[in-house]
Structure 1
Amino acid sequence: MTDFSDIYYASSDGRLPLYARDYGLPQQGSLQGIPQNGPAILCLHGLTRNSADFHDLAMHLKGRYRVICADQRGRGRSQWDPDAINYQPLIYAADMVRLLDYLSLDRVIVIGTSMGGLMAMILGTMARTRLVAVVMNDVGPELDPAGLARIASYTGKTPPAANWAQAAELAKLTNGVAFPDYGPDDWVAFARRLYTENAEGVPVLAYDPAISGGLKADTQTPVVPPDLWAMWDALAGLPILAIRGALSDLLSARTLEKMAQRHDGLKTVTVPNRGHAPMLDEPEAIAAIDAFLAEPRVSA
């Protein structure tokens, strides 16, 4: 028996088969007060990542919630898009609405890392009535240019790996600043999430290099609606938890403070010794997510 089942469905434009992991329905019986008909959790990954990023968190939540972890088009087991202009958060968000329709899910808690958090804000305008709550992982309505430049420096440009040891070294090279306490075993595990294995047993990055087409050529910023603060303000009334890595170069402490000023009741937590972005397996992140999900407005 596997930890999750496979979901295959059509993209919002009907052209691509997309994939998601389904960690199953809540178990019967006592679930810490969480009703059986409570909201599902939809996990949305970052720019170059995929559904595997959320495995540890999903296993922690499994049995209490139905957890769905999606591979966006061009990542993981979802098909690559022959038209790179479609690699942008607005279209990804439309794909997620299609996934919710396919699964007949009317109430979800969205957990979004980096680009996934931008998608959560977009879903707040596309499908607001379906959102019960949002967890924003190291992203906000204002993106630090330093972090954007770092991400753009390797997206679609990472050299090929000859073996898994080299894949781990490359993962460390591009992400080491965010995880300064990781050891060799951690980087192997990280690489196993970031890469897949081809028929010859060689690791290859689990994303289409063309996803960099979703970055504006002039500024290397994501193609998203221009006024993200307006989208943030539109989430007023929704319970939101904002998680920040203490070393983050994408979400500044100042932006997090501004987010709290403009969203009454925002819950925040800063994860020590983490940059962009926490893996959400850190004790501080797990504790904050558990407490947030236990709030009556979120779990009902």
Structure 2
Amino acid sequence: MVEHDFVLCHDRELHVRVWNRNAQNTVICWHGLARTSADFDELGLALAEQGYRVIAPDTLGRGLSQWAQDASEYQISNYLTHVQDLIRHYGISQCDWVGTSMGGLLGLVVASMTDTVTINKLVLNDIGPEVPTSALARIAEYVAEFPEFDRLSAFEDRIRQLYAPFGQRSDQQWRNMAMACGRRNPQGRWTSHYDPKVAVPFDPTKTPADAWSVFAALRCPILLVHGKESDVLTDAIVAEMKCQQPTLQYLPIAGCGHAPGLHRPDHIGPVLAFLTDL
């Protein structure tokens, strides 16, 4: 059963989903740019059933977490301070990390910060050290859009169209996603459940200059999940990642773009096998 914590991180309150609170081994799951921790509902439960404690935060300004006072807070460097606070709060000295898109970039950096926590295993869900400019521009465009709808059913239709690349879902799973990533605004209309300022510092022309060197230096086992239709993680980037990390494990998922939802048995099973050595 999932529990909900609200943890103070650098004077900002973050909402955190927690499964199997008292388990010894921990997996941190971190979502993408405009998503929430609800993306890990299925994976979190599956990991908990395998004996893991699972910690999945809503990033600042998303879901039930507090919004920033200034748009400049919506930066990877600031999110890393929140990661450090959460690690201290939950008493984590080592853990596994599952990160989708932005959450994967965070995990990549955290795995290189050996003075903070030891990442035993790293799952990168449809993200590499480089993102094509065209994909960044596409993401920036839709993150900045805030259409409004009178009815949840109309908002759900948009969610189904926008996140079709995540993979097939049941009607109930689509409804759950719409409820998790939507909210009624002060005018009583359904819209996206994140601070519009999240998109302000997002520059589609920039990617971390040292990300490739950070990736190449990692020494933990890595599983790369690849939506085969993704415009974020291209075949060329995958090939270079394999060259720089020869022991990298690779999971291509047909019928998905950016990014596989990690909600289906054929998504979850290989992730569990990687983390549990089954």
TM-score (norm 2): 0.91
Q: CA deviation at 1:266?
A: 0.6
Q: Report the counterpart of residue 11 of structure 2 in structure 1.
A: 15
Structure 2: runs of 5 or more not aligned: none
| Identical-residue share of aligned pairs (%) | 30
Q: Give the letter aligned to residue 84 of structure 2.
A: V
What SS class does the counterpart of residue 173 from structure 1 fall into? helix
In structure 2, how many angstroms separate the alpha carbons of the residues matched to 1:18 and 1:91? Answer: 13
- Which digits, 9 at most, give the CA deviation of each residue in 1:212-247, with x for residues without a partner? 02312xxx246x632210111121x20110001011
Mapping for residues 80-159 of structure 1, pairs under 5 Å: 80-127=67-114, 129-159=117-147
Query: Partner of 2:163 in structure 1?
Result: 175
Aligned: 1:225 with 2:208: yes
* Deviation for aligned residue 1:199: 8.2
In the TM superposition, what is the alpha-carbon distance from 1:15 to its structure 2 partner?
Answer: 2.2
Shift of 1:268: 0.7
Measured in 1, the distance between the counterparts of 2:34 and 2:77 equals 16
* CA distance 1:214–1:193, shift in 2 (3 Å): same
Deviation at 1:42, TM superposition (A): 0.3
Task: Note if contact 1:90-1:119 (Cα within 8 Å) is conserved in structure 2.
Answer: no
Q: For 1:225 and 1:160, how far apart are their aligned partners in 2?
A: 33
Equivalences for residues 201-212 of structure 1 within 5 A: 202-212=189-199
**Mapped partners of 1:292, 1:259: distance in 2:** 18
Q: Distance in 1 between matches of 2:215 and 2:87?
A: 22
Q: How does 1:277-288 map to 2 (within 5 A)?
A: 277-288=259-270
Runs of 4+ in structure 1 displaced over 4 angstroms? Answer: 179-186, 197-202
Do the aligned partners of 2:148 and 2:189 also contact (CA within 8 Å) in 1? no
Check whether the contact 1:42–1:68 (CA below 8 A) recurs between aligned residues: yes
- Provide the rounded CA distance (Å) in 2 between the counterparts of 1:221 and 1:78: 28
Question: Using the alignment, how far apart are the partners of 2:161 and 2:240 within structure 1?
Answer: 32
Q: State the AA in 1 paired with 2:120.
A: V
- Is the CA contact (8 Å cut-off) linking 2:38 and 2:177 kept in structure 1? no
Separation in structure 2 between the aligned mates of residue 85 and residue 221 of structure 1, nearest angstrom: 17
Structure with more of its chain in strand, by fraction: 2
CA distance in 2: counterparts of 1:270 and 1:180, whole angstroms = 13
**Stretch deviating more after TM superposition (153-162 or 97-106):** 153-162
What is the alpha-carbon root mean square deviation over aligned residues?
Answer: 2.2
* Match for residue 26 of structure 2 among 26, 31, 40: 40
Would you say how many aligned residue pairs link Structure 1 and Structure 2?
276
Task: Answer yes or no: is the 8 Å Cα contact 1:21–1:68 preserved in 2.
Answer: yes
- The residue that corresponds to 2:2 in the other structure is 4
User: Residues 16 and 25 from structure 1, CA distance in 2 versus in 1: closer, same or farther, beyond 3 angstroms?
Assistant: closer
Structure 1 portions without partners, runs of 5+: 27-35
Q: TM-score, normalised by structure 1?
A: 0.85
1:262 and 2:244 equivalent?
yes
